[in-house]
Chain A
Amino acid sequence: MKIDRANLASAIEEGMAQGFDYLVKITAVDNIASLQVLYFVRNIAQNKDELLEVDIPYSDAWVPTVTKYYAAADWYEREMAEMFGVDIRGRHVRRLLLEKWDGVEAPLRKSFGWGSPTYKSEE
């Protein structure tokens, strides 16, 4: 399900009301033109999974924190902030998680490193 960054909090609140109270994973994909942040949520009681996709521009790469709803989001957000250079707004703990490369270009972006294929084949 594609949603706007501005509607993320309300979409997650709505999901929580419907029983999507388990966060499976937060991750991101670098689509060259923009970044895509993904929230995998689950309704354990009804055994249903849902994927929320939020597109954000490179020049303004931030998402609001969802730690208010999911305690599991804490580490995932820190990992994503470090690996994709996505700023997470509204967090208390801002310490990076894995390499603690502060100020270095985000390593999982396609522009980082040598020989990283920056194309995506056409369908």
Chain B
Amino acid sequence: MITRINVGPIHPGTHGVLRLLVDVDGDTIKKVEPHIGFLHRGVEKLVENRMYLQNPVYMEKLDYIAPLAFDELYVSAVEAAMGIPVKERAQYIRLIQLELQRIASHLLWLGTLANDVGQLFTIFMWAFSDRDKVLRLLEESAGTRMFYVNQRMGGLIRDQPPDFAEHAAPLLDYLDQRIAQFQEVLEKNPIFTERMKGVGVLNREDAIRFGVTGPTLRGSGVDYDTRSNQPYYVYKKLNFSPQTRGEGDAFARYKVRMLEMKESIKLVRNALKSMPEGDALGMQIRLINPVPKNRVVTVSRETPRGEGMMYMVADPQRPYRLSIRSPSFINLSVLNHIAKGHRFADLFAILASLDPVMADVDR
């Protein structure tokens, strides 16, 4: 007999305002129907009424776990429409900030994932305190802890402080040790591995067919990362290599994110070593007609949740149309496919392994 269970929209396991209608037969999931839109603000419509420089604040609230990623993506789209290059030093600083943001975002995900699979609060507290250390470092660089709005066309609103590298080095060493410690605690715990391995399997063909992105795509063995496939800034120069796993289950997606954090640490170290001297400041604010003429641009960036893309039809004064490809949106759409046939309790492990942010799904 099929029973329909309602989960959410306010539920600790759904990581935001997500409502799931789950059809179960006994304890086995037959169908999951995500109902989204509870956090729909109409961002794509809002930006059409505002000038270019009024929009980054909205972009940062798209993904409130990694605000900088979408801020930078939007500013890059405007830069592409304006046809201006980014200063070399600013490229390094942006890369450092984006990678620190990725670590902070993955740490928050790790804490909530561990909570969802029964590792109550120990990992959560550790991960949150470590995330706070990363945010403090970001604060030194960008000026604020959470919502930065520090990108300007062609650069940033301010340079990094001169002693930033000295402060960053010990934290990076600490994070290196700490990630190993997280892995030790989680992967040697049979409860964690049994709840993650072989759960929510998404094979390579289906990952492509469903259009998933980011760690979800790479966890299914598809070697596609915007940082290496559509290289931007200095990722190529700093020997970035994408992290993939072939199993396609929740554990593979966990592994990819853990490896990505290590890769981010490597990238920040390399960037701090090879960062050139010079000017990193962006151009002065120009409110009237910053874009010389109508342009259509498409810009992609690897956000912590996957490939974010902006397609912008740019008017001289404001975006005529801004279409946002949200990675959480498409990753969440695969939930029904991978949760079918599993136990009801696995639904939360599977959902957490997809790492959706509802503000980003609903826009």
**B-binding residues in A (CB < 8 A):** 21-25, 27, 29-30, 38, 40, 44, 47, 51, 70-72, 74-75, 83, 97-100, 107-108, 112-113, 115-117, 120-121, 123
Closest to A113 in B: B45
On chain A, the residues within 8 Å of B333 by CB distance are: 72, 74-75
**A-binding residues in B (CB < 8 A):** 36-37, 40, 42, 44-45, 48-49, 206, 208-212, 222, 224, 229-230, 293-294, 298, 307, 309, 311, 313, 315-318, 320-321, 323, 325, 329-330, 333, 337, 362
27 contacts between A and B (CB under 8 A): A21-B208, A22-B211, A24-B307, A24-B325, A25-B309, A25-B323, A29-B320, A30-B321, A38-B311, A38-B323, A40-B298, A40-B311, A44-B208, A47-B229, A71-B210, A71-B337, A72-B210, A72-B333, A74-B333, A75-B329, A97-B36, A97-B37, A107-B45, A108-B44, A120-B294, A120-B315, A123-B294
On chain B, the residues within 8 Å of A51 by CB distance are: 298
The answer to whether B318 and A117 touch across the interface, beta carbons within 8 angstroms, is: yes
Q: Which of B37, B48, B230, B337 contacts A100 (CB 8 A)?
A: B37
Closest to A114 in B: B49
Q: A120-B320, A123-B294 are in contact. List 8 more A-B contacts (CB 8 A).
A: A40-B298, A71-B337, A99-B37, A108-B45, A112-B45, A117-B49, A117-B318, A121-B294
Closest chain-A Cβ to B205's Cβ sits at a distance in Å of 9
Q: Which of A70, A74, A116 contacts B48 (CB 8 A)?
A: A116
Q: Given A25-B323, A98-B37, A71–B42 Cβ distance below 8 Å?
A: no
On chain A, the residues within 8 Å of B316 by CB distance are: 121
Closest to B33 in A: A95
The answer to whether B42 and A27 touch across the interface, beta carbons within 8 angstroms, is: no
Q: Given A23-B211, A47-B229, A72-B210, A121–B40 Cβ distance below 8 Å?
A: no
Closest chain-A Cβ to B243's Cβ sits at a distance in Å of 16
Measured between alpha carbons, how far is A82 from B224 in the docked complex, in Å? 31
Closest chain-B Cβ to A70's Cβ sits at a distance in Å of 7
> Closest 5 CB pairs between A and B?
A72-B211, A98-B37, A27-B323, A25-B325, A75-B333
On chain B, the residues within 8 Å of A30 by CB distance are: 321
Closest to A98 in B: B37
The answer to whether B49 and A107 touch across the interface, beta carbons within 8 angstroms, is: no
Measured between alpha carbons, how far is A107 from B43 in the docked complex, in Å? 11
